[in-house]
Amino acid sequence: SHSAQDLSIRLPDRKQENVPPLSSCSSLVPTPSQASFLQRTLERLSSAQCLKFGSDQEEPVAVVALQRYLSEQTDYRDEQLHSYSYDVTVTDGVRRVKCFLHASLNHLVHSNTLRTGRDIFISQCSFLFSESRLGHGYMCIEKLRCGARSSAVLARIKDVSLLPMLVRHGMERSVVLHSDVPLQLSRKHYLPLWNNVDPEGDMWISGAPPSDSSRSTLNNLPLLVKVIHKSKLRYYGKFGSKIDYPYMAYFEVADQSGIMSLVLWNELCPKFYQRLNVGTVLYLQNYTLKPSYTNRTRPQMDHHRMKSYNSLEIVLNPHGPASLITVVSPKTVQPQWGLPDVSYRFISRSELDRQADNFACDVIGLVTFVGRVERVKSKVDKEKYWTYRWVHAVDGTSNQPFILELFSSSRVEIFNNICPMTYLVCTQMRVCQVTGSQPYLTSSCETEMFITGYHKGQPYVGDPRVKSFIQWTKTLKDNIVLQKTAVGGHYSYPHSPPMFIQSAVKIETFSLKPCVTFSSDNGESKEPHVAPEPQVAVLLGDTNTFCLPAASHALSWEGSSWSKQQQELSEHLSQGGLHQDSICRRFTFDEKNALLQWGNLQPSRWTCKQSSESVPPVLCSGYYQLTILGINKQIAVDAAFLPVASSDDPQAVKDSRDRSLPEPEEILETAGELEDMHVVCILDLCHLGEDKLEVLINKVYKVAEVAFD
């Protein structure tokens, strides 16, 4: 627990003097009259009588880092409400200070209201001393107000990393306060801001040292093996866990006798995970053999045509015993060792339709569409998310692209930089055959991804399918391909089936009465992209009102009883609809950095490049705005429908049927036919951050199209 006195005071005046000394990582310490806002605040908190203060002064500080980690267990709390804690680094343009974010403010991170690159106003903070280690303590932000989305403080800073860090007098020797580690002493490392599968921080070592471990004597003979498959990093940390580095990673290794799984545990993951790649040769000592975990997913390795030993796995531990891992230099690998070649199973787009469901394959393609990064909440842990995005890639063998559902695969530098016109390789993708839609491929824990700039030295570069693809790309002209590219926007796949089966989806007691509006343009101003969280809602109801908005003229239809029913509503959910982030836009090399930033989640660290470029607003060719009334006529919700207006639209691949888009006037003429008709409406919901909610119509079923199981 921590000790802190609750003595509320006001922020000291800018000219206040006679304050205790304060330390800085810079040799230059300004006089009290020149002190920054953060310096004056920490000086006041350094007073023996004042460990907390409240302030009504409006002085902005900018968020330059926002870092997440597993919360430590504290005995003085009756109930632990949050599994994760956050450290936030702020600057006033003169100094930087890392603070602990009070748990009551965590929701601001979850909604992406509190994010890097934004100004905040701190109205209450305190200083917490560690009762387990002398000379350690930190500021805790307890109340704050968020300012403008574009920081005025950061606009004046050329390089935020050059600003000195503030440290309370007497705590200059605290290693934690000067290191990239959490302020809470029980935790040794940070997690990614938006998921748990990507390496985060300086502790993850790259490169290939000759060896790194202590020695002990065991009976197992040394092993000389080659890595032929690498899986995603796995984090198993839980609240209350005492393990400093709760990571594990699976590899498939082989020699001339066959294939066996190798598992890397705990501290060995930061040391070796990024060093061990497909094709790496290892000399292993002090390992143990244990029965394999039966419920884990495995890569499909039958194309290697080697015996697989699935009952046992090679276990490498940091202690008890400490395994010795030697990475063999490629120059010293000898042919007489008999290590097998790495094998792949590349398929072309023209072959995809014939593959069985769940078949594992490798693909290569030229990226033409990259969707925004979205998060899906884990069904087991309410604070755990998976991050993913949709991608289209072509290989010249079909008129249709590969449709790829890509989850983050522990290579954030690749996942965040997938963009049109790059060559993308994905291994161990699983085929998904779905009724009424074209097949798509989804990644798994066994998938690795590579983009242009990361292909050099990979074993697949010599594969005949890869060479054939490269030859095809030489026949392309960039300006023609660019015309068919797109980035971001709402994307939903696979599309809803022709018949709705009631037992397949939980139906909310909600219904539909639309007031539909058509708009030929979207007049909203661009707002920064945030961390979307998609959901699907199933609404049951009847159609009675339908209206359509327009930039220049209004085209609308309204049910005859809508005006009266509107007065009797208990709630009208009108915040949702179409946003700028809902609309995809054409990719250009000039806007590449801005488009990548727009399509990715907010970073945990602010950089100058982050705010120097912005994506201009995009014009929409037209959309429909509907008001949906619940079947019990108590609740209504606004939703938008964005029709596919061009064959170049990424959504156009969902339906191979050639259908012309009806004019808005034609649709409105038929709207009256739906009045008082019960329907089932599928909505795509996506929280775009802060108070922005995207609510889009996915499909509307008439009663005749509903199967009651």
Which residues lie across from 367 on neighbouring strands?
393
Split at pLDDT 50, 70, 90, the class of 504 is low
Indicate the CATH number of 223-337 among 2.30.40.10, 2.40.50.140, 3.20.20.150, 2.40.37.10: 2.40.50.140
Quick check: 7 pLDDT over 90? Answer: no
At 340-359, the pLDDT tens digits run 999 999 999 999 999 999 99
Quick check: 1 pLDDT over 90? Answer: no
CATH architecture type of domain 2-178: Beta Barrel (2.40)
Q: Compute the mean pLDDT over every residue in the chain, rounded to the nearest whole number.
A: 81
Beta strands in 240-349 (DSSP E): 247-255, 258-265, 281-285, 288-291, 308-316, 324-328
Which one, of 698, 692, 680, 699, lies nearest residue 576 by Cα? Answer: 692
Q: Mean of the pLDDT values across residues 436-448?
A: 94
Quick check: 23 pLDDT over 60? Answer: no
Q: Mean of the pLDDT values across residues 425-435?
A: 95
Which one, of 652, 389, 366, 413, lies nearest residue 529 by Cα? Answer: 389
Where do the domains of the chain lie? Answer: 2-178, 223-337, 349-484, 500-707
Distance CA 396, CA 349 (A): 8
Of 99-108, 217-226, 630-639, 640-649, the range with the lowest mean pLDDT is 217-226
Quick check: 301 pLDDT over 70? Answer: yes
Q: Mean of the pLDDT values across residues 468-482?
A: 95
Q: Coil, strand or helix: which one is 448?
A: coil
Task: Tell me the CA end-to-end span of the chain in Å, nearest whole number.
Answer: 55
Q: Coil, strand or helix: which one is 173?
A: coil
Of 18-27, 252-261, 522-531, the range with the lowest mean pLDDT is 522-531
Which one, of 64, 153, 67, lies nearest residue 117 by Cα? Answer: 64
Quick check: 668 pLDDT over 80? Answer: no
Split at pLDDT 50, 70, 90, the class of 42 is confident
CB contact set of 646 (below 8 Å; sequence gap of 6+): 621, 652
Q: Which amino acid is at 335?
A: P
Q: Mean of the pLDDT values across residues 82-88?
A: 89
Split at pLDDT 50, 70, 90, the class of 612 is low
DSSP conformational letter for 302: G
CB contact set of 375 (below 8 Å; sequence gap of 6+): 194, 195, 385, 386, 387, 388, 531, 532, 533, 534, 601
pLDDT of 211? 46
pLDDT of 43? 80
At 481-503, the pLDDT tens digits run 999 999 999 999 998 887 887 65
From residue 18, give the alpha-carbon distance in Å to each of 13, 32, 51, 385: 12, 8, 17, 49
Of 200-214, 275-289, 667-681, the range with the lowest mean pLDDT is 200-214
Distance CA 406, CA 445 (A): 11
pLDDT of 559? 78
DSSP per residue, 354-384: TSPTT-EEEEEEEEEEEPPPEEEE-SS-TT-
Quick check: 127 pLDDT over 90? Answer: no
Whose tokens are 């954030």? That residue is 412
Count the neighbouring beta carbons within 10 Å of the beta carbon of residue 394: 22
Percent of residues, the chain, with pLDDT higher than 70: 80
Quick check: 22 pLDDT over 50? Answer: no
- 10 Å CB burial of residue 527 (0-12, 13-18, 19+) is middle
Split at pLDDT 50, 70, 90, the class of 291 is very high
Split at pLDDT 50, 70, 90, the class of 50 is low
Q: Which helix (H) or strand (E) holds 440?
A: strand 440-442
pLDDT of 448? 96
Distance CA 463, CA 216 (A): 41
Split at pLDDT 50, 70, 90, the class of 664 is confident
Of 130-134, 364-368, 390-394, the range with the lowest mean pLDDT is 130-134
Percent of residues, the chain, with pLDDT higher than 90: 43
- Is 312:290 a contact under the CB 8 Å cutoff? yes
- Is 430:355 a contact under the CB 8 Å cutoff? no
Quick check: 511 pLDDT over 80? Answer: no
At 180-196, the pLDDT tens digits run 889 887 788 999 999 99
- Is 552:573 a contact under the CB 8 Å cutoff? no
Which one, of 695, 670, 671, lies nearest residue 681 by Cα? Answer: 695
pLDDT of 450? 97
pTM for the model: 0.85
Quick check: 634 pLDDT over 70? Answer: yes
pLDDT of 26? 39
At 525-545, the pLDDT tens digits run 333 334 455 555 555 544 444
Q: Mean of the pLDDT values across residues 611-620?
A: 73
CATH entry 3.30.470.20 includes domain 349-484: no
From residue 84, give the alpha-carbon distance in Å to each of 47, 90, 211, 388, 532: 30, 20, 34, 21, 19
Q: Mean of the pLDDT values across residues 48-58?
A: 68
Q: Do domains 223-337 and 349-484 have the same CATH topology?
A: yes
Distance CA 360, CA 431 (A): 7
Quick check: 79 pLDDT over 90? Answer: no
